[in-house]
Amino acid sequence: MKIFIKEHTFGAGKWVYEGYMSAWENLGFEVEYYDSLDSLSNLNIGEYDIMSIDHDLSSDNIDVLNKARRAYLFAQPTKFPLPWGEHPNFRSTCNIDVIKQTNLMKNIKKWTFAKVNKEYYESWEDINTILLGFDNINYKPVEDSSMKYDICYVGGWANNGFNEKANIMIEHFKEIKKLNLRCGILINKNISLDNEMKLLYNSKIAINIHDAYQRQLGLDTNERTYKALGLTGFLISDKVEMLDDVFPEIPQAPTPKKMAELITQYMDLNLDEIKEKNRQNILENHTYVNRAKQLMEL
């Protein structure tokens, strides 16, 4: 059996869908990337599953999903709170008629990694929340004393259309810098997978910083949450409501100053037991293999 996955070449989508590709392969499926639903239109895809994102959908190619054995359709909101809803990054580009057609198709399973607020997904029906996860197949613990930092963070400026996150990150890093700790903070450095694994696994504390909409709406958390807990094992995050539901034990900081205070507090503690517990929880419950199994059960 084959699964087609929409290809992402950059950004968070690249890591998410590469994690899913490895997960499906781990479960015994043959997996192949596709660049557009139109590219699948000439294939006999009735025996295949498709992981799609909704901006591929139009009246012209919806039949591709209709012929699939099963289609996992990522449902983007049809509207989103302002100011973010002004930008296409935050809303579905499907027209209402196409969404209504997919609502009637029994082989299509609609999902998102956020809490479903019906106001934002006003035209979609029967959407399932499938959280992000940890790619434990490609990300492995690797001992390396040269990568042993007090604090670690790997990410990018992640301009979502409003370039809000850069300033949020800078304010946090200003406070952390005052602590005079050994910090492995890498922004837009295109770090290799091998070095990223070493940095995360060998550091004492990982930090996480979210985008402005995530902090305000509280509907989702980023993939870094799972990666940090899966490798570093101990995470201090900025304040995001979704974490209260999924990982209530994670220390959360409502301000940059409070994050620096939490770092100081936990730097003096032995975190080995907590780290092992968190890593085990991720491996048992929050990998992309777990998520793929959840999709199959829909």
CATH number of the structural domain spanning residue 55: 3.40.50
Final residue of a domain: which of 101, 130, 159?
130
In a shared domain, residues 209 and 277: yes
Does residue 291 lie in a domain region? no
Report d(CA 104, CA 18) in Å as an integer.
30
Does residue 292 lie in a domain region? no
* Range(s) of the domain holding residue 244: 145-285
Cα-flanking dihedrals φ and ψ of residue 108, to 5°? -95, 125
- State if pTM tops 0.85: yes
**pLDDT tens digit sequence for 251-292:** 999 999 999 999 999 999 999 999 999 999 999 999 999 999
In a shared domain, residues 191 and 277: yes
In a shared domain, residues 163 and 274: yes
Mean pLDDT on 68-86 = 95
3-state secondary structure of 32: strand
In a shared domain, residues 54 and 8: yes
Tally the domains of the chain.
Answer: 2
Stretch among 5-9, 23-27, 175-179 having the lowest mean pLDDT: 5-9
In a shared domain, residues 24 and 149: no
Final residue of a domain: which of 98, 130, 162?
130
In a shared domain, residues 115 and 91: yes
User: What's the CATH number where 161 sits?
Assistant: 3.40.50.2000
In a shared domain, residues 7 and 69: yes
**Which secondary-structure segment (H or E) carries 207?**
strand 205-208
Does residue 50 lie in a domain region? yes
In a shared domain, residues 168 and 104: no
Single-letter residue type at 124: W
Q: What percent of the chain has pLDDT over 70?
A: 100
Contact present, 40 and 4 (Cβ < 8 Å): yes
In a shared domain, residues 109 and 163: no
**pLDDT tens digit sequence for 178-235:** 999 999 999 999 899 999 999 999 999 999 999 999 999 999 999 999 999 999 999 9
Distances (CA, A) of 64 to 17, 57, 93, 105, 106: 20, 9, 18, 12, 14
Report d(CA 106, CA 291) in Å as an integer.
20
> Hey, how many other C-beta atoms are within 10 angstroms of the C-beta on 30?
11
Contact present, 231 and 201 (Cβ < 8 Å): yes
Does residue 82 lie in a domain region? yes
Mean pLDDT on 69-92 = 94
pLDDT of 55 higher than 90: no
Does residue 37 lie in a domain region? yes
> Hey, how many other C-beta atoms are within 10 angstroms of the C-beta on 11?
11
